[in-house]
Structure 1
Amino acid sequence: MFAFLAEHRQALFPAEMFADMYPSSNGRPSMPPQVLAAAVVLQTLHGLSDVDTVAELRCDLRWKAACGLGLHDTAFDPSLVTYFRRRLARSKRPNRIFEAVREVIAATGVLKGRQRRALDSTVLDDAVATQDTVTQLIAAIRRVMRQVPGAAQVAAACCTAHDYADPGKPRIAWNDEQARAVLVNALVTDAIRLLAGLPEQPLDEQAATAVGLLALVAGQDVEPAEDSDGRDGRWRIAQRTVPDRVISTVDAESRHVHKTRSHRQDGFKAHLAVEPETGLFTVVALRPGSGAAHHEAALAADLLAEEDDAVEVFGDAAYSTGTCRQTLTSAGHRLVIKPAPLRPAVPGGFDLDDFAIDTTAGTVTCPAGHAAAFTGNTDKKRATFGRLCEGCPMRHRCITAKNGRVVRSRPNHDLQAAARRQAATDLDWQAGYRRWRPPVERAVAWLAARGNRRLRYIGTIKNNPWLHTRAAALNPRTLINLGLTRTDSTWTLTSELS
């Protein structure tokens, strides 16, 4: 990789590629952006901090050659790397390094004729500590006091639950449940008073975000409570978790992520589309770790949007929703996506595929031969068997509820049922899934190697370009193994995959 950048850095990252990031009114950059681009690629590839990156540039001849520095050059201040990355993240093309590498991939023709794409996601841990309800409330109130004009005076007059100038946590007996309840009630009351007392005025982006965040954290974890004598007006920790819950006021986009029912991480999801034969990343995207809009199935079409032709799509059960299948099938793609397993109401008993569902007629027939009609809206149809289950000899294999079996039909039921039948009976489908789905796991391992499971930055604006740069650093490594070279201004490969 060092030798490749030393020889082809100028062709890969020409000066005009970064012209919009350095307008002429700001003067010439103190360090050519091509040098910084090469340094950022190597930094991301090796998982180094800005300080360590500059240290390598000062001491390692490989880094000097790759970035175009002379033997006696002392590199530059680490802040230049920070400024370059910030300019890149906030530019109109924050993923231009990834796009430049993708142009090289297209020029080599390595993906020509390879019409398979494996989709997957992986959790990347956030760069901040998860905060509890008390810590979030105090941090959000402090943020409003700092960033909203006049908020500090309002807080001094009405916020009495805690000394918000004190950097520590409130001094209470934390093992006393009643003391914790009193503190939570007082902090929520302070937040409501502060929001209600803020002067009416136009707010800039930072101040508006601070006010919105305080309103959010003040209500997401609490609910109204009543005193023993029936008086209300108090607040308590709610016995539930709201969807898309904010877990830190430092990084408000970080989320609790459940990859399995028992395993939870805090952070973001990296979504990937990989060509499984070569292991090349074709598309990557970083999104908050939870929320329907950021689910794997919701992003599948976006990951394949830039494909010129229909492809064969490989994915696990996270991509098996009816809506996702309908969208990808309508686009002409052939799906090799593992169906989500059905869970029978009785262990070992009948599941949904044991019922004959006629979506055209709107009826369902159970294994015992009883028929019922669907009712309800298009999204959530249900058929209730009720008394038909009384005395049925197959009831013990079907349902334990005393009111009988209820069958629910979701949109695109026929598409889902056909997919389950194909996965269970089609030997070619099974062989293809076993052959081409696992390589994406290797790509995920490459992405998270060298300590890159934990993100270094806050928010998607900074971390999404980092993910693209990481993929842009890994793709050339794969191409170099295939003999990537540049001859007469043309990118070529000297070897082919067997």
Structure 2
Amino acid sequence: MLRAEPLGEIPGETVRVARAAFPKGNLYLRMRDELGVLYEDADFATLFPPLGRPALPPWRLALITIFQFLEGLPDRQAADAVRARLDWKYALGLELTDSGFDFSVLTEFRSRLIEGNQEHLLLDKMLSQFKARDLLKLRGKQRTDSTHVIGAVRRLWRLDLIVETLRAALNQIAHLDSEWLQPRLTAEWVKRYARRVEMERLPTSEQARKRYAVEVGQDGFDLLEMLDQDGTEDLRCLEAVGVLRLVWEQQFAVDADSKAVRWKAKQEQPPSSERPGSPYDPDTRFAANRSKTWLGYRVHLSETCDQGSPELITNVHLTGAAVGDVTTLPTIHEQLGANDFVPIQHLVDGGYLSAEILAAHQDGEIQLIGPAKRSSSWQQRTPGAFTHDDFQIDWANKDVKCPQNFLNASWVEKVSSDGMPTITVKFRKRTCARCPVRSRCTRADPAQSGRTLVLRHEEQYRALNSARTQQQQTDWFKKYALRAGVEGTISQAVRRFDLRHARYWGMAKMRLQALGTAAALNLVRFDAWTQGVPRGATRIPILARIALIA
């Protein structure tokens, strides 16, 4: 039950002792003096029932949660800090003699936030306070970038994954209903799944590993059949059992006639974006970016970058690790719009841009500033070769004229392998075979085909060409230079707040971690801005500094 508690003033003795201990103040004292308490009990009223045991003031628990992320404290240490630290008591408005609370209260508060889908309040209510103090410029400039987050689970290979998935299901069933499992538990199952799977305990040869995988697959199907036949509804609805069904569907096939279990080949599996990385955190996904690989998530941070105002994070968007940046930009704009933070200029890197995205923003409501991807064709890289720009396109009549004034033979609209609508334009092979400048246009076999162009639809084609033209201008580079500051934000979030390492399992809890980290970073940014502390400059390695001096 939520029992409203007046915020009131900070107890006098707490003020006197804290001021004596921190004559120049510190972040927590300045935060309370400048921003007040940031949250109110009414913000969290929907999370508490009308009847029951009175709860601790939610505004205090919300602040303590932010303080935890600010200092990287687990629940026990945070509860101790509430009892022992003067600056925390000052910020929370507590008496010096206040004995605090049990650390489990913080766990329960986070659970309430997640179950009520209210974790966004940690950042949204803070931003509302900044907006009320004119620290956030509406319709200003913002920039966005992403970084990887490593899940709090170990990386499992295919054989490890299936063994651990079955083991996790058996353990969860044993905890819930050991009496149901005990008569069905064979000695072989105990030997195979009692302990965590280790690579050195698994078969080494390829054939032996396949046989072992088939045995595990059969065990999993047997367990699922037992659950379907005489298991209780509670057992069948266990999360680990659901993950078992999903993994077995992805990893195994059963012959319709012989009922023999077969371990699927790698090419038969769904893409990594659809495969759980671990049975203990099925939301984790495997991803690769250039030479970097990880198992976990991807987080996108958006921040203001207007001159004369503090650079504050306005939005946090968490996705699976394998979700590309380009698919997230519409969602990020939708989330910014929900809080009235839609920017007039949005600076992003090339990973967020595509022809479709650029075409969708031709209305000018949000001006996207970022490097549009150049064509990767050999013609684009070869001086003097004929690129798409050298062809005249009549969109209305579906005619394309080559640099030698020959018209196309066909115009076919289709959908590409990545689901994007495209137009394939082909020229007659006989015409191209006789062309005197063929070597500047195509390398296709003259006997097989002529020049082929793959185009976007007109609106997308024009938007992409317009963006490529703009980024050749000097003014564009000056505007885009402002985007580099978000790299420093990512670095600060990683180095000070350990953003790249998950503290919890599951997308919902990880979203709370990302939002809490962003709120903590905003407090640090606000405090530095009020104190006139400039952003740190880019660190230059010592050898590079020596070279510059020389």
TM over 0.5: yes
Return the alpha-carbon distance in structure 2 between the equivalents of residues 155 and 367 of structure 1. Answer: 76
2:110 is aligned, of 79, 85, 99, to 85
Match of 1:94 in 2: 119
Tell me by how many angstroms 1:399 deviates: 4.5
Tell me by how many angstroms 1:381 deviates: 2.3
1:250-399 paired onto structure 2 within 5 Å: 250-258=280-288, 260-277=289-306, 278-291=310-323, 295-306=327-338, 307=340, 311-330=344-363, 332-345=365-378, 348-349=381-382, 350=385, 351-367=387-403, 369-372=405-408, 373-377=410-414, 379-385=421-427, 387=429, 388-390=431-433, 392-399=435-442
Return the alpha-carbon distance in structure 2 between the equivalents of residues 232 and 109 of structure 1. Answer: 68
Residue 315 of structure 2: SS of its match in structure 1? strand
Q: Which amino acid aligns with 2:291?
A: S
Question: Do the aligned residues in 2 keep the contact of 1:269 with 1:286 (CA within 8 Å)?
Answer: yes
Residue 271 of structure 1: SS of its match in structure 2? strand
Question: Do the aligned residues in 2 keep the contact of 1:284 with 1:471 (CA within 8 Å)?
Answer: yes
Return the alpha-carbon distance in structure 1 between the equivalents of residues 390 and 189 of structure 2. Answer: 62
Tell me by how many angstroms 1:53 deviates: 2.1
Return the alpha-carbon distance in structure 1 between the equivalents of residues 159 and 137 of structure 2. Answer: 55
Question: Do the aligned residues in 2 keep the contact of 1:329 with 1:335 (CA within 8 Å)?
Answer: no
Return the alpha-carbon distance in structure 1 between the equivalents of residues 241 and 197 of structure 2. Answer: 22
Q: Which amino acid aligns with 1:438?
A: A
Question: Do the aligned residues in 1 keep the contact of 2:325 with 2:352 (CA within 8 Å)?
Answer: no
Q: Deviations over 1:339-365 (max 9, x none)?
A: 123211468335544544444433444
Tell me by how many angstroms 1:44 deviates: 0.8
Q: Which amino acid aligns with 2:121?
A: R
Residue 26 of structure 1: SS of its match in structure 2? coil
Check if 1:453 corresponds to 2:500.
yes
Decide which moves more: 10-19 or 362-371.
362-371
Larger Rg: 2
Match of 2:20 in 1: none
Q: Where does structure 2 lack aligned partners over 5 or more consecutive residues?
A: 1-26, 416-420, 533-550
Match of 1:407 in 2: 453
Decide which moves more: 93-102 or 298-307.
298-307
Change (3 A) 1:266 1:369: farther
Return the alpha-carbon distance in structure 2 between the equivalents of residues 52 and 442 of structure 1. Answer: 29
Check if 1:108 corresponds to 2:133.
yes
Tell me by how many angstroms 1:370 deviates: 4.5
Question: Do the aligned residues in 2 keep the contact of 1:118 with 1:273 (CA within 8 Å)?
Answer: yes
RMSD: 3.6
Q: Which amino acid aligns with 2:151?
A: D
Residue 120 of structure 1: SS of its match in structure 2? strand
Decide which moves more: 54-63 or 310-319.
54-63
Return the alpha-carbon distance in structure 2 between the equivalents of residues 423 and 224 of structure 1. Answer: 55
Match of 1:487 in 2: none
Check if 1:142 corresponds to 2:167.
yes
Change (3 A) 1:352 1:221: farther
Q: Which amino acid aligns with 1:71?
A: L
Q: Deviations over 1:60-112 (max 9, x none)?
A: 32223223333344433222221111112222422212121111121112233
1:67-86 paired onto structure 2 within 5 Å: 67-86=92-111
Return the alpha-carbon distance in structure 1 between the equivalents of residues 222 and 428 of structure 2. Answer: 52
Change (3 A) 1:48 1:15: same
Check if 1:442 corresponds to 2:452.
no
Change (3 A) 1:139 1:70: same
1:99-178 paired onto structure 2 within 5 Å: 99-112=124-137, 115-145=140-170, 146-147=172-173, 152=181, 156=185, 163-169=192-198, 174-178=203-207
Q: Deviations over 1:118-167 (max 9, x none)?
A: 12222121111122222221232234444498984897589979733444
Residue 193 of structure 2: SS of its match in structure 1? coil
Return the alpha-carbon distance in structure 2 between the equivalents of residues 394 and 194 of structure 1. Answer: 69
Check if 1:423 corresponds to 2:471.
yes
Return the alpha-carbon distance in structure 2 between the equivalents of residues 328 and 158 of structure 1. Answer: 63
Report sequence identity in percent: 25
Match of 1:496 in 2: none
Change (3 A) 1:80 1:310: closer
Change (3 A) 1:39 1:208: closer
1:470 is aligned, of 507, 517, 521, to 517
Question: Do the aligned residues in 2 keep the contact of 1:254 with 1:268 (CA within 8 Å)?
Answer: yes
Question: Do the aligned residues in 2 keep the contact of 1:172 with 1:179 (CA within 8 Å)?
Answer: no
Tell me by how many angstroms 1:366 deviates: 4.4
Match of 1:488 in 2: none
Match of 1:42 in 2: 67
Q: Which amino acid aligns with 1:288?
A: G
Change (3 A) 1:354 1:329: same
Question: Do the aligned residues in 1 keep the contact of 2:150 with 2:500 (CA within 8 Å)?
Answer: yes
Match of 1:490 in 2: none
1:141-220 paired onto structure 2 within 5 Å: 141-145=166-170, 146-147=172-173, 152=181, 156=185, 163-169=192-198, 174-196=203-225, 198-199=227-228, 203=233, 207=237, 209-220=239-250
Change (3 A) 1:2 1:206: farther
Tell me by how many angstroms 1:32 deviates: 2.7
Decide which moves more: 131-140 or 351-360.
351-360
Return the alpha-carbon distance in structure 2 between the equivalents of residues 171 and 264 of structure 1. Answer: 23
